[in-house]
Structure 1
Amino acid sequence: MAIVAPIVGGQTVLPERIFPEFLTDLKSNYISDFGDYLLIEKPYFVVGLFWHELLFLWPISIANVYAILTGKSWFGTTCLLYGASLVTSMAAILGEMIGSGKASDRLLMLYVPFMVIGIVAV
């Protein structure tokens, strides 16, 4: 998560010209391989969730890595914040994917583990 957020989420909400070509190619290949229609259509709720991911979840995931490496006592609290936020975001995304019927099984299998990570973090 600490790596995916700035690479994929950042390209979705920030101008692509600020990213190196190999990263924009990586995102384009991902979209074509998995058919991620949310990254193509960019509905407003997904853009909002990516901003939330960049401004809240990404810093918390970096703080969690630091807490794991240094044995900080506040790790449980930040894990709870991260997990609850991730589960909420994934509920919206998976609800859209399943409800709309646009997502392939392959795309769903890519997103479901993020829900599991959120549940485990809580």
Structure 2
Amino acid sequence: MAAVLSKVVDATSVLFSLTVTVAVPLIDSQVVLPTGLYPASFVRVNRWFAAEFDHYLLADPPPFFRDLIWLLLTFLWPVCIANLYAVITRRCRLIATSSLMAGVFMLTYMSALFGEMLGSRRATPKLVGFYTPFAVVAATLVLRGLCSYSKLHGPDTIGWVASSAQKKRV
């Protein structure tokens, strides 16, 4: 059962990282970069999404939302690329670290978005529903990173601190 759950979490992590790796530079970055840099089809997708989900932050981005997008581009995007690399090359420590970093970042990002959307009362249920799975995936990534970290270091060690069984006896 645990092996199946682990595979599902790994698949979710890969799907999330792949989505971020593609969507952030092609779609989300249109908030902060000139739309002339993008093919017309990507601009249309972005406008359709803003209209379809009544995404008022995307339609008229306030400064804090622009800053969040810059953070997506400069931090989360490279971490998700590293996560994909780690999964492909089966580097367990890097998977644990990049999953934890991506999850914590997304939980922080989602907290800001949900705080704005629910606090302003401008968000539609459809928009909140769109972002809810991302919050669930973020929490899953944090748990995956923490669980992987504890497996890598064992129950008696915390990173650089050796357990009493590993200490040299005098």
TM-score range for the pair, normalised by the shorter chain length: over 0.9
Q: Considering fraction of residues, name the structure with more helix.
A: 1
Corresponding position of 2:78: 59
The 4+ residue runs of structure 1 with deviation greater than 6 A are: none
Question: Paired residue for 1:12, among 31, 34, 43?
Answer: 31
Give the Cα separation in 1 of the matches to 2:22 and 2:130: 16
Question: What secondary structure does 2:122 align onto?
Answer: coil
Which stretches in structure 1 are left out of the alignment for 5+ residues? none
Question: What secondary structure does 1:14 align onto?
Answer: coil
Percent identical residues:
35
Corresponding position of 2:136: 116
> What TM-score do you get using the length of structure 1 for normalisation?
0.96
* 1:97 and 2:117 correspond: yes
The question of whether the paired residues in 1 share the 8 Å contact of 2:47 and 2:59 is answered with: no
Which stretches in structure 2 are left out of the alignment for 5+ residues? 1-19, 143-170
Paired AA for residue 81 in structure 2 = I
Question: What secondary structure does 2:119 align onto?
Answer: helix
- The structure having more radius of gyration, on CA atoms, is 2
> What TM-score do you get using the length of structure 2 for normalisation?
0.70
Corresponding position of 2:90: 71
